[in-house]
Structure 1
Amino acid sequence: MASLDLFAGENHEVTQFSEQAYLLHGHVASQADTILSHLRDVIKQSPLRQFVTPGGGKMSVRTSSCGDFGWITDKKGYRYTDTDPITKKPWPPMPETLKTLAEQAAAKCGFESFSPNACLINVYHPGAAMGLHQDKDESDFSQPIVSFSFGLPVTFLWGGLKRGGSPQKVTLQHGDVLVWGGPDRLRYHGVKKLANGQHPLTGNVRVNLTFRVR
């Protein structure tokens, strides 16, 4: 992976690891306290839960959402809804701070029109993982994916446009941001099992926020 000259002089290093996929090192680390406080408020309204996949398996991550839409899965399939199936109420509004930071990260990587209306919250405990998958439940693939990481480090897996092969491994640290779109928008990606550890802000978990246009 090579750093982009495009971002020379910025406070944080940016690494381009595919045609239109970028890692912004530590980009939101300084705002972590504020962001995590907002998340606690969201989770009080729409609690974390372990979804069941269409095949009947229970996901290892604990999930919630905020914004106009939330992503869910059950035996009926993967999809977005405008209400939380647990509370039967609309998903909590996306905190403006989160939305603005996601838009700014996308703009730094060339996606200047990004305006997310869904934020998926995934909390990983040790042993939790995410298999290789595509983000393809959205209606507009011209819009990028923006992903924030907080807490324990993890290995992000970056695959191809089809299943199979050996995915590239990218280490994600506290405060890192991933942005990908364009020809890379439908690449398979996932997360290896989270190793045990402790982080001063999150304890023994990793918190991931994924911003999308539904």
Structure 2
Amino acid sequence: MPNTRVCRLPLVVLGLLALMWAMTLTGCHSGSHDVGLFAPEDTVPVAVSPTQAGQLLGDMDGNGEIGVADAIAVLRIVVALAATSPYADVTQDGAVGVTDAIEILRAVVGLTDLPFQWRIATVSGRVAEVLSRNGLQGIEVTVGGQAGTTNAAGAYSIGNVPVGSQAISVTGANYDIAGRLPATVAVAAPNTALATIYMVEDEYSPPDGPDED
């Protein structure tokens, strides 16, 4: 006897594709969306990382469960009927596409383990002057190959940082690290807040005097 859980998957996928095709035609005819027919290779870039701690990847409606409705929500993003969301990037490849919807459906029929694992995170923190404790603007912080620059308050936020132990570096014109900066930091999804990084102004060097004859 064939495995009914496996056999259901193609039917569910075909049903969703037909539904999204109809939704796309409706959007085109209404004039509210200028989109073409559904194409499996279509993807929508995701340039932000999650901000709502605790929500599962693929849980588009935030109800704590992964279901067919979540797959439909992902496909709506693919055909530009809904705004993109970092929770839709189930495969964590930086884009939302048909593959993400299929992975959700595989989970629904028990072919993929849940929960989906976060592989990227947002890292945030602050850089300040060691004596005044005032924030420093324009300091570049790099974590896991992703860089961000501090604002006027000294705060920074870096998206799409891989989870795990990641290298960190901090650079700024006329400033050095006050004390010791660890070589790596632990990054956990969806958000990681780092301790304040303190810097000190470079030692003052008086200008050279006039040349002697």
TM-score w.r.t. the length of structure 2 is 0.22
Between structures 1 and 2, the one with greater helix share? 2
Between structures 1 and 2, the one with greater strand share? 1
Between Structure 1 and Structure 2, whose CA radius of gyration is higher? 2
TM-score w.r.t. the length of structure 1 is 0.22
